Amino acid sequence: MTAGGPTWDAVVVGGGVAGLVAARDLAAAGLRTVVLDADAEPGGAVRGHTVAGLRLDAGAESFATRGGTVAAYLGELGLRDRVCLPASHGSWVHLPSGDGPLPRAGLLGIPSEPFAADVRRTIGLVGALRASLDRVLPARVGAAAPSLGALVRARLGARVLDRLVRPVVAGVHASDPDDLDVGAVSPGLPAALRESRSLTRAVRTLRASAPAGSAVQGIEGGLHVLVDTLVADLRAQGVEVRTGTRARRLRPDPAEAVAYDVELGEGTALRTRRVVLASPAAADLLAEHAPGGSLPSLDAGAVVTLVTLVVDAPALDGAPRGTGVLVAREASDVTAKALTHATAKWPWLARTVPAGRHVVRLSYGRAGDADRVPDDEDALVDLGLRDASVLLGARLDRSVLVGSAVVRWTQALPRPSAAHREAVAQVRATAAALPGVAVCGAWTAGNGLASVIPDARAAASALVG
């Protein structure tokens, strides 16, 4: 290689879980690797933060159990004994007509049994009767549905969509079911649907294959323990994890068969033969190499604001709304779209707090809500206390507040719309034409660790091979 800064075997752009996982496999193959992350801390959406002396997740707090992929990976990292299930209290949906339970045996709010007591309580007899038609409707109904919303509406009716699926999708994906591709949000669902010819039966099949009947698991100590463990493991393998460092340009060296300068600005660049682009910045970094010199924009995702409250409130000891509440858009008395009662959900966390102390996390940021969510942190904490009081049926105000934190996530939850998937295909095609360049991350694999981890390993493996 010629001049142009230090030489690395591999440069990973993005130190979220995708980048860290890819870097670990590159290092294991004996490659001298550096991870660059623009933020002050690595981990992306899985980093931790400290609130009222408690180490908590600042973003993601659980992972989907489908396929057992994430648990198997945690086992490789020596974290098998820390994998845990959420408490089995169940969760609720807040509707203008009152609160109702969410189906325990459901997927994205889609019930597996329309006449189950919890489902009937929330969608009523009329809704349950309409949903039960799913078992007799011909398989072609909904088969060509362009979105998750259209599929649910066609097979189960509007009540299941509005009272169950829409609130869950807003809470989990910060999106609307009418904008989401079915396979992108639930990779196994299209095949299960084709096989069972009924949406509720397909959900039952998928749920039956989840360990211990739970669709999600966590890590004792919080999901950020994964990031802490990965970073420690990488450093032990000699990988440099460089934070506060943004990659600004990717420049192939025409004089070399396969060599790139990853430019960091101010005349600094890293030379390498292998580049993993593990962040949505891939679209910007690859644009000049695309046919025509530009690429369409990836979906930026909704801005999600999380308000964490640590409160001394013994009234919450009985977990009045189970592990949490999702809020239907039509409910005008609350601005939040979801509330997680973290100390009710995670027994390990409950064990770390004094009696009567609780951790509650509210999530804000539906499309079109910008003017309803204040910018000011104090105002957000007040709004969080007010919303939590309504959702949990307990008076929570500043007098019971022990600590709080506000975290804003941007570009962290891309919505897998048709336009986004088309943009991803073009970014991937551009990367594929550059030898030694691989891409990974939630922006291409889909949100959630169950999608991100295998995708990141595949990216690393393509470069090692």
Ligand X SMILES: Cc1cc2nc3c(=O)[nH]c(=O)nc-3n(C[C@H](O)[C@H](O)[C@H](O)COP(=O)(O)OP(=O)(O)OC[C@H]3O[C@@H](n4cnc5c(N)ncnc54)[C@H](O)[C@@H]3O)c2cc1C
452 binds ligand X (CB under 6 A): yes
What part of residues 228-257 is at the interface with ligand X (CB under 6 A)? 246-247
- Residue 324 CA to chain centroid, in angstroms? 17
- Residue 298 CA to chain centroid, in angstroms? 16
What does the DSSP assignment read for 180-228?
A: --HHHH-TTHHHHHHHHSSHHHHHHHHHHTSGGG-SEEEETT-THHHHH
15 binds ligand X (CB under 6 A): yes
Phi then psi for residue 20, to 5 deg, are -65, -40
423 binds ligand X (CB under 6 A): no
| Smaller CB separation from ligand X, 231 or 413 | 413
Q: Distance (Å, rounded) from C-alpha 218 to C-alpha 63?
A: 6
Q: Are 414 and 434 in contact (CB under 8 A)?
A: no
Q: Residue from 25, 61, 113, 181 that binds ligand X (CB under 6 A)?
A: 61
Q: Which stretch binds ligand X (CB under 6 A): 92-100, 104-112, 252-260, 273-281?
A: 273-281
Q: Which stretch binds ligand X (CB under 6 A): 43-51, 82-90, 133-141, 232-240?
A: 43-51
Q: Residue from 69, 279, 340, 430 that binds ligand X (CB under 6 A)?
A: 279
281 binds ligand X (CB under 6 A): yes
Q: Residue from 60, 102, 169, 406 that binds ligand X (CB under 6 A)?
A: 60
Q: Residue from 380, 448, 454, 459 that binds ligand X (CB under 6 A)?
A: 448
Q: Which residues pair with 369 in a beta bridge?
A: none
Q: For residue 307, what are its two tokens?
A: 């308000």
| Smaller CB separation from ligand X, 339 or 400 | 339
Q: Residue from 4, 14, 114, 365 that binds ligand X (CB under 6 A)?
A: 14
DSSP E strand boundaries for 77-210: 83-84, 92-95, 98-101, 106-107, 110-111
Task: Select from 78, 100, 82, 80 the least CA-distant residue to 90.
Answer: 100
48 vs 5, 77, 165, 184, 279, CA distance in Å? 33, 18, 29, 27, 19
Q: Distance (Å, rounded) from C-alpha 262 to C-alpha 265?
A: 9
| Smaller CB separation from ligand X, 165 or 306 | 306
222 binds ligand X (CB under 6 A): no
Q: For residue 272, what are its two tokens?
A: 């390498």
37 binds ligand X (CB under 6 A): yes
59 binds ligand X (CB under 6 A): yes
Q: Which stretch binds ligand X (CB under 6 A): 87-95, 383-391, 405-413, 415-423?
A: 405-413
Q: Distance (Å, rounded) from C-alpha 273 to C-alpha 33?
A: 11
What part of residues 314-343 is at the interface with ligand X (CB under 6 A)? none
Gyration radius (Cα) of the chain, Å: 23
Q: Which residues pair with 325 in a beta bridge?
A: 92, 339
Least gap, CB of 272 to ligand X (angstroms): 14
Q: Residue from 4, 8, 10, 13 that binds ligand X (CB under 6 A)?
A: 13
109 binds ligand X (CB under 6 A): no
Least gap, CB of 64 to ligand X (angstroms): 6
Q: Residue from 31, 131, 409, 437 that binds ligand X (CB under 6 A)?
A: 409
221 binds ligand X (CB under 6 A): no
Q: How many residues bind ligand X (CB under 6 A)?
A: 36
Q: Which residues pair with 274 in a beta bridge?
A: 10
Q: Distance (Å, rounded) from C-alpha 151 to C-alpha 199?
A: 9
Residues near ligand X (CB under 6 A) are: 13-19, 36-39, 44-46, 59-64, 246-247, 278-279, 281, 304, 306, 409, 412-413, 441-442, 447-449, 452
